[in-house]
Structure 1
Amino acid sequence: MAYANMMRSGLTASKSLTTPFCAGTGVQQLRRRPLTSRAYSRRQFAAMAQATYDIWVKGSPEKNELGDCPFSHRMMMTMEEKGISYHKNLLDEQKMPDWIKDVCDGQKQIPFMKENDSGKWLYDSDKMVPYLEDKYPDKKKLGKPDECPQVGQELFPTKFVEFLTSKPGEDEDKKKKALIAELQSVNDHLEKSGKPYFGGDDVCATDLSMAPKIKHIKIGADEVKGWQVPSDLKALHAWMGRMSERDSWKKTYYTEQYVRDGWNLKVKKLSEES
């Protein structure tokens, strides 16, 4: 899924349809010596020559810092789990070049990617995930989204953003209860299955789609509303702990502060537009 499609389906009443969902001000600080522009270019070209795909995701190209877009996160985790080589290109959502429209059917959105052997362009994580599953049947099977458990369908962005933008009082209480109900349904599925992941003993497409969203919910709700996901949702918390220990998560990590900054900015824009 990408920002434009997500917002059309989840927040049709908001003027925020025209603003970038993954917009934020924070960045991930990488603990390594900065590369010179020439050395960085050489490394970039070498990586591109070896990669099966080039993928464009949210981040700072100037600082070489990965951004906090949950859909970019989903795609990179999927490719890591399947063992598909890729080279990530970082895009500042506030400075997205017009050429993106030429490869994304007239839209400016992330993530999107290029299949380097065929020259084929792909966009929208809801389309890219099943494409990779069909393209690489010999690699780790994750299942297509519609083949995997369907849980928390209204959780993100709908119920989450409705809660973040709710007014104190009855409206806020109502929206919070609706969010908790969605989280409870996710927890109940995990609890009843008795398995570590939605995919059973290993991850499936649902795990890789849901984990970045839960990360945003946990951090964003705490930052904006001072609210934490209930501790009695033990199966959900345990699952999130397992997801955060996976190599695919660690290799695609971005800081909590980046998420906090992003949601503060988003809610501010929504308030100004309402």
Structure 2
Amino acid sequence: LTDTHNHYHRDNELKTSCDGESIGNCPFSQRLFMILWLKGVVFNVTTVDLKRKPADLHNLAPGTHPPFLTFNGEVKTDINKIEEFLEEVLAPPKYPKLAAKHRESNTAGIDIFAKFSAYIKNTRPDANGALEKSLTKALKKLDEYLNSPLPEEIDADSMEEEKSSNRSFLDGNELTLADCNLLPKLHIVKVSYMATLVNNGYVSCTYTGFKCSAF
């Protein structure tokens, strides 16, 4: 990331897919890509095949994997620190603020990917049932949050109870950092695990919140 008269330019190193060229399914790389795209920054994407990692990459960030960021000679490898840095440097009025307004949006679905990983990597058939139950419980909790109206969707003067939310994304009708964190992970879950549930109509009738634009 370089600052040329306050016009930021970003060289982004991302993991490749199995063909060694196109962007891979690393949720952390995709998270960073989404943030930069939403910020409206002009940036280049350089995919890195970890099996044939260039020598200069070894020298730049030894022992680490993309994505990472360099700024004024300092290398940032922690994805959360990179996110905080971009939100601080690429700030209003020139760049949009992406932080969620509601704290609950940042933690919605936070445990889904870990539970999915435990389920998908499990080698014990006798544990499948409990792990799948744990995963579906986490998905249901996210679905409930998506369906629950945010404070600004509730009419304080209305006598009728607000039954469901009409928002498009986790924190409202605009994408936020919360979506950038969750969506890449949820996409992997959807492709790898939920495909069979989608095909048999289970998701559409059970997880109604997943009909919102973000999902």
What is the TM-score normalised by the length of structure 2?
Answer: 0.74
Given the alignment, which residue of 79, 84, 91 partners 1:130?
Answer: 84
Match of 1:92 among 34, 49, 72: 49
Larger Cα Rg: Structure 1 or Structure 2? 2
Q: Which has the higher contact order (CA 8 A, sep 6+)?
A: 1
Query: Stretches of 4+ moved more than 6 A in 1?
Result: none
C-alpha deviations, 1:92-145, integer Å up to 9, x for none?
1222245435444x4221111334xx3443223211111111112211111179
Deviations 1:24-50 (A, max 9, x none): xxxxxxxxxxxxxxxxxxxxxxxxxx9
- In 2, the alpha carbon distance for the partners of 1:154 and 1:129 equals 19
Q: CA deviation at 1:165?
A: 2.5
How many residues are matched? 186
RMSD: 2.9
The equivalent of 2:109 in structure 1 is 152
Q: Secondary structure at the match of 2:106?
A: coil
Match of 2:214 in 1: 243
Are 2:66 and 1:110 equivalent residues in the alignment?
A: yes
Please identify which structure carries the higher helix content: 1
Identity of aligned residues (%): 20
Deviation per CA, 1:62-99, whole angstroms, max 9, x where unpaired? 87422211111110011000112211111012222454
Structure 2: gaps spanning 5 or more residues: 1-6, 150-164
Please, which of 118, 125, 147 is the counterpart of residue 191 of structure 1?
A: 147
What is aligned with 1:31? none
SS of corresponding position for 2:99: coil
Counterpart CA distance in 1 for 2:45 and 2:70 is: 11
- The one-letter amino acid paired with 1:109 is H
What letter matches 2:208 in structure 1? K
Normalising by structure 1, we get a TM-score of 0.60
Give yes or no for contact 2:76–2:82 (8 Å, CA) kept in 1. Answer: yes
SS in structure 2 opposite 1:213?
Answer: helix
| 1:230 counterpart residue number | 203
